[in-house]
Amino acid sequence: KNEVEQSPQNLTAQEGEFITINCSYSVGISALHWLQQHPGGGIVSLFMLSSGKKKHGRLIATINIQEKHSSLHITASHPRDSAVYICAVKSGGGADGLTFGKGTHLIIQP
Amino acid sequence: DGGITQSPKYLFRKEGQNVTLSCEQNLNHDAMYWYRQDPGQGLRLIYYSQIVNDFQKGDIAEGYSVSREKKESFPLTVTSAQKNPTAFYLCASSIFENTGELFFGEGSRLTVL
């Protein structure tokens, strides 16, 4: 089973700061997901990537397959970005091949 | 708008009672999943289904049951056999089991009194 580690576990920053959240995994994967969980509990998929880099608005996700590492960046952070960010990796066939990290709790202060 | 609807959002149950959580999707997705989330832990897979009338156990299926009689619906029953049922439950779907973006519901928080 893949081991997924996220860092930091908690992050508090000021509005406008550049944010980086990291995800490392132990076994080769076919895809990596970045998810956002709002305070109410609902989860939204931000990115799914298997190589390179993806950008959506102020969010950027990168992955380095050789180093088994991915980062999620938020530029010009805003209080509405406050949420838990979850990394999940797909490393095997079937739905049971998806392993989730414990999440990074991000707070952006005005 | 397409999406996943979970109900109820909050549910309280007495020990020894079964309870069923509803999950409905109008995304025409084949694959549906139930996850459990506990504080300080990653999501854990309870059950998943790839097609109607078929489902497989996940990592923590004991004390839970599911059905998939319709493509749109994947209800989860938390039985009295589940030793620690208080948790946040999330339903998700994707186009195919092995690939594709995951879509989640808003979750159901179950508290056993």
Q: What is the pLDDT of residues B82-106, one digit of tens each?
A: 889 999 999 999 887 656 788 999 9
Which pLDDT score is estimated for B33? Answer: 93
Which pLDDT score is estimated for A29? Answer: 87
A89 touches chain B (CB under 8 A): no
Strand partners, A43: A37
Sequential DSSP letters for B8-47: -SEEEE-TT--EEEEEEE-S--SEEEEEEE-TTS--EEEE
Q: State how far residue B17 is from chain A, nearest Cα, in angstroms.
A: 25
Residue A1 has pLDDT above 80, yes or no: no
Which pLDDT score is estimated for A53? Answer: 97
**Two structure tokens written together for A94:** 């079937």
Which pLDDT score is estimated for A90? Answer: 87
- For B58, the closest of A35, A41, A96 (CB atoms) is A96
Task: Write out chain A residues lying below 8 Å of B100, CB-based.
Answer: 48
A45 touches chain B (CB under 8 A): yes
Size of the A and B interface in Cβ pairs below 8 Å = 67
Which pLDDT score is estimated for A47? Answer: 94
Cis amide linkage into residue A8, ω under 30° from 0: yes
Q: Which has more confidence, B2 or A55?
A: A55
Residue in the block written with tokens 């979970």: B6
A22 three-state secondary structure: strand
**Two structure tokens written together for B27:** 């995304």
- For B101, the closest of A41, A45, A94 (CB atoms) is A45
Whether residues B41 and A102 touch (CB distance < 8 A) is answered with yes
Residue B65 has pLDDT above 80, yes or no: yes
